[in-house]
Amino acid sequence: MNSRLALSIVIPTHNRAALLQRSLEAMTQQSLPPSCFEVIVVADACRDDTAAMVLASAARVPYRLALLGHTARSAAASRNLGATRAQGDWLLFLDDDVVAEPELVRQHWVARAENGISLGYSKPVFPIRATFWQLSARLWWEDRFRDIGRPGHRFSFRDFFSGNVSLPATLFRKVGGFDPSMVGRLEDYELGIRLLKEGTKFSFLPRAIGHHHESTDLEQWLGRLRQEGEADVLMGQRHPELRTMLFSSKEPTDRRLRRLRRLAFDHPRLGDWMNALFVRQTRLYERWRLRGLWFPLLGRLREYNYWRGVSAAIGHRRAFQDWLQEAPLPPAVAPDAPVHDLASSRTDAALAEVLDLGSRVGLRLLVDGSEVLALPPKPGCEPLRPPHLAALVSELAESELIPALALKWVRAHGRNLLCQSDLPRLI
C-alpha cells in the first residue's frame, strides 16, 4: 500500500466540542493506516472549548490533525477553507456529528480508483426516547439511502450529501467548491448540480458507515424548511433550467395546503401566528400520543414553512409566478431523438452511445418496433447508462410497458375479439 498522504478529511464544526471529540476518536480506529490521511478541523465562530480540545487531541492521535478557524458562520465557507489547506489528492468531507466506523476511510480510499463522487452511508442515530418527528426523520433518511443503494439508481443533485462524501481535490477546485452565498441550506445540492454538469459519476458506498448523531428537533427542522425554500430560489436563479423542476414537485394538491401556500405569500404575519399555534398543537398531540392527528398537522407545518421561505426570497405570489414563467420550458423529447428497441441486441458501446445522446435530447423506447415510452432529458441527473435503463424498464414495466404492449396486441387482434367463437377461449 502506498504510504503517502492520499486523503484529506475536512470536518467543519460550530460549538460542538463533545460530538467532535467522538468523531476525532473514531479516526484513531480506522483500518487505513494513519499515515495515509490527515484530518482538518475548521472551527467556525466557536465559543466553546473546541480549539483547546482539538489542539490537545493533535498531540496524541496517530494521524495528522490540523485546526483552522474563522468566523464566516457558513458550512460551505468552512469546507472550502479546509479544502484550500488540504494536502491529499482526495477530499473526504465529514460532518462533526458523524462517528465513523473503522472501515469508513478505507472504503473511500479504495473507491478513489473510480475517479468520481463516492457517497458514504450516514446512518441516522436519534435519542432512545425519540420524538414523533425524530422517528419520522429516521425513516426518511433510511428510505433515501435505500433508494440510492438500489442497483441502477440514477443519481441526481438531491443525492449529494456533504456529511460523508469524497471526491478528487482537483475536481472540487475545478468546479469552484461550495457556494458560500448558499447560506443556511442546500449548498451541497447546488454543488451536486455543478458536479453533474461536469459529467461526474456518482457511486454509493454502503460499507462507508458513519453514525450520524442527529439532534434536530421539530422547531429547528421548521427553520431549516424556510432556509430550503430560500435556497431553492437561489438554485433556480443560478440554474434556470432546473427552476420548473425544483418547484413542480412541491406544488400542493390538497386544497388546505394550497391555502397555506397563499397564506405564506399574501398574509405572512397571520401565517406565522397560525404556525406557532400548529406547533403548540403538535406538542399536545405528542403528549397524548395521538399520532393520527399529529402526522397531518406536520404536513401543514412543512407546507407553510417551506413556502414561507420561498416568499421571503422572492416576494409576492405574482412575482413568484412571473419568475417561473421566465424559466426555460421543461425539456421535451426532440423529434430526432434516438430510439432503442428493447428487443434488439446492441453492443455495449452502441447502447452507451445511444443513451449518452438520449440524456441530452431524449430517448424513445420501442418493443418489436412499437414505441412504448418516451423519456425526456432530465436536468440535474447523471447521464443515462445501461444499468439506469434496466432499472427504469423494470420499474415502469407494470405501469407503462405492459399496458402499451397490451394495446398493441388489442389493435392487432381486436377484430378477433368480436368473434363469438373466441369467447370461451378468452374466458
Q: Would you say domain 7-215 falls under CATH 3.40.50.80?
A: no
Q: List Cβ neighbours of 120 (8 Å cut-off, separation of 6 or more).
A: 104, 107, 108, 164, 165, 166, 205, 208, 209, 210
Distance between CA atoms of 392 and 385, rounded to whole angstroms?
11
Q: What is the DSSP letter of 49?
A: S
Mean pLDDT of 41-48: 96
Write the single-letter amino acid at 81. L
Distance between CA atoms of 382 and 104, rounded to whole angstroms?
25
Res. 212: pLDDT tops 80:
yes
- Largest distance between two CA atoms of the chain: 90
Write the single-letter amino acid at 352. A
Percent residues over pLDDT 90 in the chain: 74
Q: Would you state the pLDDT for residue 422?
A: 47
Distance between CA atoms of 149 and 141, rounded to whole angstroms?
12
Q: List Cβ neighbours of 333 (8 Å cut-off, separation of 6 or more).
A: 361, 362, 363, 364, 374, 375, 376
Q: Would you state the pLDDT for residue 418?
A: 46
Q: List Cβ neighbours of 252 (8 Å cut-off, separation of 6 or more).
A: 258, 260, 261, 303
pLDDT in tens, 4-17: 688 999 999 999 99
In 45-110, the DSSP E strands lie at: 64-70, 90-94, 98-100
pLDDT in tens, 361-414: 999 998 878 888 899 999 999 999 999 988 888 887 766 666 666 666 666 665
Q: Report which of 182, 6, 181 is spatially closest to residue 88, judged by C-alpha positions.
A: 6
Q: What is the DSSP letter of 48?
A: S
Three-state SS for 199? coil
Q: Where does residue 21 rank: exposed (0-12), middle (13-18), buried (19+ CB within 10 A)?
A: middle
Distance between CA atoms of 38 and 6, rounded to whole angstroms?
9
Predicted TM-score (pTM) of this structure: 0.89
Q: Report which of 281, 336, 106 is spatially closest to residue 210, judged by C-alpha positions.
A: 106
What is the pLDDT of the chain when averaged over all its residues? 90
Sign, CA torsion 263/269/270/274 = positive
Distance between CA atoms of 200 and 167, rounded to whole angstroms?
10
Distance between CA atoms of 45 and 358, rounded to whole angstroms?
47
Three-state SS for 370? strand
Q: List Cβ neighbours of 45 (8 Å cut-off, separation of 6 or more).
A: 14, 15, 70, 71, 72, 73
Cell 417551506 appears where? Answer: 306
Res. 216: pLDDT tops 90:
no
Write the single-letter amino acid at 89. D
Give the residue range(s) of CATH 3.90.550.10 domains in the chain. Answer: 7-215
pLDDT in tens, 126-140: 888 889 999 898 899
Res. 425: pLDDT tops 50:
no
